[in-house]
Structure 1
């Protein structure tokens, strides 16, 4: 066993087992092998995956190009994925009164939007794998912007019924702009950045997709009360136009067919024969002259760079759901997708819980309630550097060899945060007093922070262990999450009204802690599972890369 991880009896190591740290302990007797690896500027960190010699390899892009692409992915995750959903959450009661519809129909404005986003997932996965991520990001940016324009028009109709229907149509079109940014953004990090660079960036994307909705709720609550619901969308529209332009000019295609430089492998040390999912052969020099000229800025503006796989779209569509046979996918659903769904599902009921006595919060104050979640989400970004530190520390203790399971121990922090958050939340609702609203906001912040930590840990594990199929896996995660969002919009308000919010939060807490029990077998047997999954793909689908 390597630090508690059971080692499978195989000479060939699966993706996710890599040389990461090159120090005196690891290099003793292996200077020749390690000298053939390309290193980071810190010298003791080996680059994973090993970049190719092609100057168009996204791993070799200039720093400004990488950071600009990430900056606009991050920005567009906010304006197209994080903003639309929670814009109406603080004003749920007020908008229902304005449009003369039940509260449930306002919740469905977000529910149907997320249902569209989830249903679009398989198409985005197939098209993204076949034709690259850039066309999907451009499509999402365009239709997200159009959807906001339709929402604005919804408030200009001659009757309240027409206003609701047009507003609903706009929300559905906004859903078309959500899917790609929710499901492909983290996978794009794996395209452009090395293993030791992914932690903070993944945490930032998790912040936008899981927790930054709290900031949107704070702003939208104040705007709803002072400017009206229509102007929320009016202000969002030019921001989305800017994001659309950023996607056109600064989000080039990051998907790349990479042939990694080779290194000499020592079978006695069980060093991986793969680097980032690419086959490594012996005695191939690392510094091969470039085989293609560097693409110009204008050439990067093309909508698509051609096909990235010969596999048919029908086979790609079928392969998406085969990933459910992988126990690691079930695990990441438990500790990421379902927990985010609980966090957002609770948001549907907050205005319902805190607008009546004894709290008597206004629309703006309901928005301010999300301050706790915003602070918790921001603190949750620390999980990125913590994950990277843990990976390097455990790799050093493991003779320089990194295992993808080294991402999992960080979940212990999430367990503590969820325990405090959900169960104290339940106590607050069981003892309603106006002054307890501040403690409730703190509890929601703990839940937000725990959600960020768990999602970052799970996302990094998938990137490291199954990077070649990370697009399909993140699409599955996004689909489950959005279907749960829709499901909660159908019943959570009635459940809260009938049983009380104390029971709802208690159930969320119990299910959450039960889900985290799966981290133990996932850590211990994770490497054996990676070997099994790798063999399954090779045997049944003829896929030699994970």
Structure 2
């Protein structure tokens, strides 16, 4: 039997490119998000991307306002750096406490709640007066903004198929990073032209519009099959009393009968998790017209709650600690967390050092000029995204055809390799340029090159994780987010004394060496990633059965 993540994308013997097998397999329910028409899928994703853009902008827009805030309110740059670090800590903690609610009650209430909180905090930011205000604003805003780093991949996995996820995750990463850099650029001009408080008054206006867009436009993507009326059965509970070891093959719940004997109907009723078995069924999906479609107002229900069981209380609480177990026992999750964390941490260090050094001599940049330095980052992100998204989805189908239609998630990782040299080249050019006070175009080119490399790496490592462990992706991404923000928090808190001791160039070189050590392990996962998935398959299935009953219950 195949390990989790390995699926058949094309049938043997068909004309090349004629059909792609839909993975995961849709149901016959017209309300299944996998069966939605394309316009509904893209409208939903468009609203999510708009929400992501606003959240990312809010997190990063303050940096061009640091100079004016320093002058008006007397906040030191160390205090401002510490407020950024406090926000990073809240980003890591927020997902741990909020994602269990998304798993239990659906994605929609979390998107709406986060938007409401961002609106309220925008008003507070515009009226800020004290350091306490500054710290609490960063912590509260980032706590709810943390959802943008984990819930979006859950939404993409709910709605899109394996052969589409590369483009969708690349779109998400592009929106996140583009807004991360566009926010400070716009904020710089607003701070100079209207005053720094108007950065937040504009956020009040736009988040006010966002509340209505999310409330009346975003549909719930969590799908509960009609057959699911209760939580785990007593047999399920007995089966998961104790977790299996990573190598315990007896606990592996793959189907034991030959693949050829499993018919489509039996597959539709099977509790096996996505891609646990080799299923070669056709691409056509027959919709059961006897199942009524939900009305518009039904689709906008505030909660989509998984039916409770006697163990529902434990089921909810364990999603708080399960991410830590998965993080430390499944290699791909740990590796994704390290790569994502070190690259985002390095990017955050570049942002804060730029905001601190460029307003000083010899550059003497104004707030709008500091904002304009994010333009090369936006260019780099866009170049990386335009290449990576279409390339990775085309590549996996192409390679699968050469392997009798079989797809392994490690195939995507080959697309990372051409972009790896851009990361050290860009970071070194930025660090040396800033340290040696070289002309600003040198720093700008370094920022652009770094982001050409980072965008493909981040989007592909997330897609690799989603393809490999779709049924536990919520818990997995909580672990990734926790590590990712731990790097940023540690680096930013230590940044000021660290730079004072060894200089900005060597700070960046040190972080870059750590990043290169992590990135070099891509070759290990390209070569041995499938073996890792095989060895941890029983653990994956164990935790997949502990999830709230959604598609895997079919």
For this structure pair, what is the TM-score category when the shorter chain's length is used for normalisation? 0.7 to 0.9
Q: 2:353 aligns with which of 349, 352, 361?
A: 349
Deviation at 1:90, TM superposition (A): 2.2
Instruction: Report the Cα distance in structure 1 between the residues aligned to 2:281 and 2:45, rounded to whole angstroms.
Output: 35
Instruction: Report the Cα distance in structure 1 between the residues aligned to 2:226 and 2:285, rounded to whole angstroms.
Output: 11
Q: Does 1:88 align with 2:62?
A: yes
Deviation at 1:116, TM superposition (A): 2.1
Q: 2:35 maps to what in 1?
A: 60
Q: 1:233 maps to what in 2?
A: 200
Q: 2:376 maps to what in 1?
A: 372
Q: How does 1:33-52 map to 2 (within 5 A)?
A: 43-52=18-27
Instruction: Report the Cα distance in structure 2 between the residues aligned to 1:244 and 1:190, rounded to whole angstroms.
Output: 24
SS in 2 for 1:276: coil
Deviation at 1:328, TM superposition (A): 0.4
Q: Does 1:519 align with 2:518?
A: no
Deviation at 1:430, TM superposition (A): 4.7
SS in 1 for 2:296: coil
Deviation at 1:295, TM superposition (A): 0.8
**Cα gap change, 1:482/1:283 in structure 2, threshold over 3 Å: closer, same or farther?**
closer
Instruction: Report the Cα distance in structure 2 between the residues aligned to 1:16 and 1:411, rounded to whole angstroms.
Output: 19
Q: 1:338 maps to what in 2?
A: 342
Deviation at 1:419, TM superposition (A): 2.4
Deviation at 1:531, TM superposition (A): 2.1
Deviation at 1:538, TM superposition (A): 4.0
Instruction: Report the Cα distance in structure 2 between the residues aligned to 1:245 and 1:45, rounded to whole angstroms.
Output: 38
Q: How does 1:439-518 map to 2 (within 5 A)?
A: 439-518=442-521
Q: 2:319 maps to what in 1?
A: 316
Instruction: Report the Cα distance in structure 2 between the residues aligned to 1:151 and 1:257, rounded to whole angstroms.
Output: 39
TM-score by length of 1: 0.86
TM-score by length of 2: 0.84
Q: Does 1:422 align with 2:398?
A: no
SS in 2 for 1:45: coil
Q: 2:171 maps to what in 1?
A: 204
Question: What is the CA deviation profile of residues 272-293 of structure 1, one whole-angstrom value per residue up to 9, with x for unaligned ones?
Answer: 9967357788999964735631
Deviation at 1:188, TM superposition (A): 0.7
Instruction: Report the Cα distance in structure 2 between the residues aligned to 1:219 and 1:396, rounded to whole angstroms.
Output: 46
Instruction: Report the Cα distance in structure 2 between the residues aligned to 1:411 and 1:302, rounded to whole angstroms.
Output: 40
Structure 1: 5+ residue stretches without partners: 1-11, 35-41, 155-161
Q: How does 1:65-464 map to 2 (within 5 A)?
A: 65-80=40-55, 82-154=56-128, 162-257=129-224, 265-266=259-260, 276-277=274-275, 287=286, 289-290=288-289, 292-307=291-306, 311=312, 312-324=315-327, 325-382=329-386, 383-433=388-438, 435=439, 437-464=440-467
Asked whether the equivalents of residues 413 and 453 of structure 1 are also in contact (C-alpha less than 8 Å), the reply is: no
Question: What is the CA deviation profile of residues 183-228 of structure 1, one whole-angstrom value per residue up to 9, with x for unaligned ones?
Answer: 1012211110112222222112112333431111111112112211
Asked whether the equivalents of residues 323 and 329 of structure 1 are also in contact (C-alpha less than 8 Å), the reply is: yes
Asked whether the equivalents of residues 341 and 486 of structure 2 are also in contact (C-alpha less than 8 Å), the reply is: no
**Cα gap change, 1:101/1:281 in structure 2, threshold over 3 Å: closer, same or farther?**
closer
Deviation at 1:297, TM superposition (A): 0.8
**Cα gap change, 1:423/1:147 in structure 2, threshold over 3 Å: closer, same or farther?**
same
Asked whether the equivalents of residues 58 and 192 of structure 1 are also in contact (C-alpha less than 8 Å), the reply is: yes
Asked whether the equivalents of residues 94 and 144 of structure 2 are also in contact (C-alpha less than 8 Å), the reply is: no
Deviation at 1:390, TM superposition (A): 1.6
Instruction: Report the Cα distance in structure 2 between the residues aligned to 1:391 and 1:282, rounded to whole angstroms.
Output: 18
Instruction: Report the Cα distance in structure 1 between the residues aligned to 2:334 and 2:280, rounded to whole angstroms.
Output: 36
Asked whether the equivalents of residues 5 and 468 of structure 2 are also in contact (C-alpha less than 8 Å), the reply is: yes
CA RMSD of aligned residues (A): 3.0
Deviation at 1:233, TM superposition (A): 0.3
SS in 2 for 1:239: helix
Deviation at 1:532, TM superposition (A): 2.2
Deviation at 1:132, TM superposition (A): 1.7
Size of the alignment, in residue pairs? 507
Asked whether the equivalents of residues 331 and 522 of structure 1 are also in contact (C-alpha less than 8 Å), the reply is: no
Q: 2:246 maps to what in 1?
A: none
**Cα gap change, 1:455/1:309 in structure 2, threshold over 3 Å: closer, same or farther?**
farther
Instruction: Report the Cα distance in structure 2 between the residues aligned to 1:16 and 1:513, rounded to whole angstroms.
Output: 27
Deviation at 1:508, TM superposition (A): 2.6
SS in 2 for 1:177: helix
